[in-house]
Amino acid sequence: MRKTDIERIIKQGSTRQKIKLYFTDVAYFNTKGQYTANFKGSGDSLQLDIKDKILTDKERNLIFNSIKDPKDGKYYDELRTYNKAFLMFMPTISAFTKDFDYLTALFSKYKRERTLHKFYQVVINNILEVVEDKKLREKQVNTALQSLNIFNAKRYQEEGYLPFIEVPDANIDIEVWALVEGLNKTIKEAKEYIEGIKKFLKKYLPLQPYKKFVKDAEDKIKADIEECRKHIKEFTIGRTATPMDKEAEVFTELPDERFNIIRWEDVDAEVTDEDIEDIKNAGL
């Protein structure tokens, strides 16, 4: 919102417009805190840096004192109630973004763990492959087994071939399946929660700072989900590769439905009128 628009509303706007501006200022404070906002006047060089607010104390007092009509007073009270309701749900939205940050970090951890196992297997076997002397090959295999003892590495040899090294997977599929299940459940919960808040704001509290806060949270969650999908795809690479494979097979599709992370867009969030009423009445 430009400073010129603020001045115009205060001087020429209806009381309802002024009240909405008043609560836009409140919403800005509640979402921005100590951040700085820049307002540039249209066609001039005016630029103001205002921390925590878009209105001055004088402007807020002017708006509040302009409320004379009972209908306007009722509108003010309604927005105050709806604002109180939104503030009760705001921490949960922030909590969801932190949950997805944490889940993304876990998927990254498991991916790195499995990738490391496969990396050692592929690299060492590539080295062994050029060693055709049986005695030297056996010596290097034993050395590799000792070095990779922490990874439970073992000897692998097919009939007619010299030995290779097998570095077993980290046996973390069960943990990852549980993580995927938990993530999918959280995606559905977050989608329904955020969709409900968005509908509530649109109908009862259409303040831009709050709408931006919710959109930013939603965009962050969607980005985390896509990051998790990327991690899980990389996690599944090479799950069926043998130690003699030079390169692990890259799956174009997830090989197991238990590794399937749903997309945010594919979740059908069911938000009823009763849900919106519950949000609205939370501020009473």
Spatial separation of the C-alpha atoms in residues 260 and 212, rounded to whole Å: 30
- The total number of structural domains in the chain stands at 2
| pLDDT given for residue 194 in this prediction | 98
- Least Cα distance to 193 among 107, 94, 83 occurs for 94
Determine how many CB atoms are found less than 10 A away from the CB of residue 154. Answer: 12
Q: What is the pLDDT along the chain (284 residues), one digit of tens a residue?
A: 788 888 899 999 999 999 999 999 999 999 986 433 333 344 433 333 445 688 999 999 999 999 999 999 999 999 999 999 999 999 999 999 999 999 999 999 988 888 777 777 888 888 888 898 999 999 999 998 888 887 788 898 888 889 988 877 666 888 999 999 999 999 999 999 999 999 999 999 999 999 999 999 999 999 999 999 999 998 887 554 445 554 444 444 445 788 999 999 999 999 999 999 999 999 88
Asked whether residue 225 falls in the same domain as residue 154, the answer is yes
Asked whether residue 13 falls in the same domain as residue 107, the answer is no
Asked whether residue 56 falls in the same domain as residue 102, the answer is no
Question: Under a CB-based contact definition with an 8 Å cutoff, are residues 20 and 76 in contact?
Answer: no
- Least Cα distance to 230 among 116, 104, 126 occurs for 104
Assess if residue 94 is contained within a domain. Answer: yes
Asked whether residue 97 falls in the same domain as residue 227, the answer is yes
Spatial separation of the C-alpha atoms in residues 218 and 198, rounded to whole Å: 10
- Domain residues for the domain of 271 are 85-281
Asked whether residue 104 falls in the same domain as residue 208, the answer is yes
Question: Under a CB-based contact definition with an 8 Å cutoff, are residues 125 and 141 in contact?
Answer: no
Asked whether residue 27 falls in the same domain as residue 117, the answer is no
Asked whether residue 61 falls in the same domain as residue 124, the answer is no
**209 token code pair:** 């700072």
Spatial separation of the C-alpha atoms in residues 198 and 176, rounded to whole Å: 32
| pLDDT given for residue 32 in this prediction | 83
Asked whether residue 106 falls in the same domain as residue 234, the answer is yes
| pLDDT given for residue 180 in this prediction | 96
| pLDDT given for residue 35 in this prediction | 39
Asked whether residue 139 falls in the same domain as residue 217, the answer is yes
Asked whether residue 51 falls in the same domain as residue 175, the answer is no
| pLDDT given for residue 47 in this prediction | 38
- Least Cα distance to 94 among 261, 258, 221, 283 occurs for 221
17: left (phi over 0), alpha (psi -120 to 50) or beta: alpha
Asked whether residue 125 falls in the same domain as residue 197, the answer is yes
| pLDDT given for residue 33 in this prediction | 65
Assess if residue 80 is contained within a domain. Answer: no
Asked whether residue 233 falls in the same domain as residue 191, the answer is yes
User: DSSP string of 83-99?
Assistant: HHHHHHHHHHHHHHHHH
